[in-house]
A = this chain, B = another copy of it.
Amino acid sequence: MPIKMILDCDTGVDDTMAILYATLHPEIDLLAVGSVWGNVDAPLATRNSIHAVEMCGRGDIPVATGAAGPVNQRAQDIAYHVHGRDGQGNRGTGRPVGPAAPGTAAEQIVRLCREHPGEVEVVAVGPLTNLAIALGLDAELPTLVRGVTIMGGAALAPGNVSEVAEANIWHDAEAAAAVFNAPWPLTMVGLDVTMRTLMGPEHVARLEAGGTIAQYQARIMGFYMDFFARESFGRPLSCMHDVVAVAIAAGTLVPTLAPVVNARVDSTDGPGRGQTLCDLRGMYMGYPAQEGAHCRVVLESPADFGDDFVDLLVNAGDAAIDVSEPA
């Protein structure tokens, strides 16, 4: 039985990978997508999410628009410098897409979890605003989900916004604190693994030799890889961030080290704001059990996942819509 999944994302380049993977993979039943501000603004995230499911001939998957900013209502920057002004590396199609689903992304989460109690894995790969709002809408949500998996945080690895804070957590630390405190099974897929799970020029070349879905993915990755070349790696490599979280949530990528520990978020205005404090003090003893712990922190996973992702996209053939660049 494929895993029922709701994907919550701020659809930039790697979110697009995540949607394509979740839509195409036979072991995932993607019930719905919610959009959120972050890499791009929420309406653009909605548009890009609909575009991605339509590419796969799955325009029937509902995409609901979510929060436009963090729960504390502070102004926030949008990461256009990473994902391009269109969130597709400035090489999207720009074409109109079908309509968004009615209601908000948070309401959609609550409704679908109520319809399928205990069955839905909620995977959030942007700021956690929608999940925090959903917790506010329905206090029983933690008992209704199968689990929650996030792309976000950094346990032992450095942060990417500050020395210790990862962007998705930092952008809405108050929402993230709520998500870490809620008593649901939480899987944190953070920079510890996502900065080590990479695609490079050889993956891009394989995508370019595939059908139009794979070719589209290859095309939008250039801008994103340039960012990582400049900021992180000194050469063109692409972090697979969001799609790693989707695959771990689905069990199609199996972590090799992922202790269940107590974890909390620094939501002060101190230098540690946005840090995920994971209690890994047991590392020298093989991580003995911790009372009340419900956060599985992924510390190691197979680094060659890029090959699986490319296989899936190449085998998917051509897109159901025209994905050529505008003239």
Contacts and interface: CB of A to CB of B under 8 A. Distances in A.
A284 B156 contact: no
Most buried by B among A158, A266, A278, A283: A158
A98 B162 CA distance: 50
A268 B272 contact: yes
B285 A232 contact: yes
A232 B158 contact: no
A281 interface: yes
Contacts of A264: 271
A286 to B, nearest CB: 8
Interface in A159-198: 159-160, 162-164, 195
A159 B275 CA distance: 14
Interface residues of A, number: 29
21 contacts: A156-B158, A158-B279, A158-B280, A158-B281, A159-B281, A163-B262, A163-B279, A164-B275, A195-B284, A232-B284, A233-B284, A234-B284, A234-B285, A234-B286, A264-B271, A266-B272, A268-B268, A268-B272, A270-B272, A271-B272, A272-B275
Given A266-B270, A268-B268, 20 more contacts: A156-B158, A158-B280, A158-B283, A160-B281, A163-B277, A163-B279, A163-B281, A164-B272, A164-B275, A164-B277, A232-B284, A233-B285, A234-B284, A234-B285, A234-B286, A266-B271, A271-B277, A272-B272, A272-B275, A272-B277
Interface of A: 156-160, 162-164, 195, 232-234, 262, 264, 266, 268, 270-272, 275, 277-281, 283-286
